[in-house]
Amino acid sequence: MPELPEVEVVKESLSRTITGKKIKKVSIKNRNLRYKIKKGFETRLQSKSIKKVKRFSKYIILALNDEKFCLIHLGMSGTIHLLRKNILNQKTNASFYHSPYLPKKHNHVFLEFDNIKIIYNDPRRFGYFKLFENKNNLENFINNYGPEPFSSKFNLNYLKKYFYKKKKNIKNFLLDQKFVSGLGNIYASEILFSSKINPKKKAKSLSENDCINIIKYSRKILNLAIKKGGSSIRDFKNIVGKNGSFQDNFKVYNRENKSCLSPGCKGTIKKKFITNRSTFFCNICQK
């Protein structure tokens, strides 16, 4: 599943491409995504202009010129393709995962502009589209989630209060979108390694310094991942000719049985399953 940095990369691609443009036509080939696309979706978007492309957590938000909002969630396997007219064999994927070219199957939603077409592809159909009639409705939706790591609300006092007497392990907390929005399996493992915290450690056992490190490294690692274009698990370039290269900076993720990269540490990276999610950590560094 794409995490915050990967969604930020898609948001930037869309922002550069469709901001200020009018949607000429909307077509839906399959309404049966995670939540069924309601009838009337096409007419509510058609002829609207994209005022701004934004992101919250793992959501892309298209702000329309009529003060409505279209929210897009990519789910487990969703990708957005930007198909330009009259260009052959073009790389269309706005992301850094799955095929760089437009697949022939599982293309569900089409938004057409003058010289470009946005196509939503999703083999597993866990993603979805949702329309909000106004800013208040959108904010009510967002308020159901925890703050992003970059938010000033994600601070020491927030963590200490949230973790108080909680027995759940810290890895599961970092994946809990009610606690913090935007993190997923890859970045949770990387953050805990940099913080020198065992992923199975109970939240109530975390020290104040542990909490400070979680805040610090959440921001540092996500900022680096965004700068590097996200994590490209497969080797190909996106539509602007760049590779997502944060995977070159992985310290633990997908490094099972390799030596720990911390200076002076003789530990080995181990892989464990915590709540059915693969978790990577150093058997010595992370206590």
Could you list the active site residues? 2-3, 58, 277
With left for phi above 0 and alpha for psi between -120 and 50, is residue 33 left, alpha or beta? beta
Q: Can you say whether the dihedral through the CA atoms of 10, 16, 22, 24 is positive or negative? A: negative
- The DSSP-derived string for 91-103 is --BSSSSS-SS--
Q: Which long-range contacts (CB under 8 A, 24 or more apart) does 169-173 make?
A: 169/199, 169/200, 169/201, 169/202, 169/203, 169/274, 170/197, 170/199, 170/200, 170/201, 170/202, 170/203, 170/206, 170/214, 171/199, 171/200, 171/274, 171/277, 171/279, 172/274, 172/275, 173/203
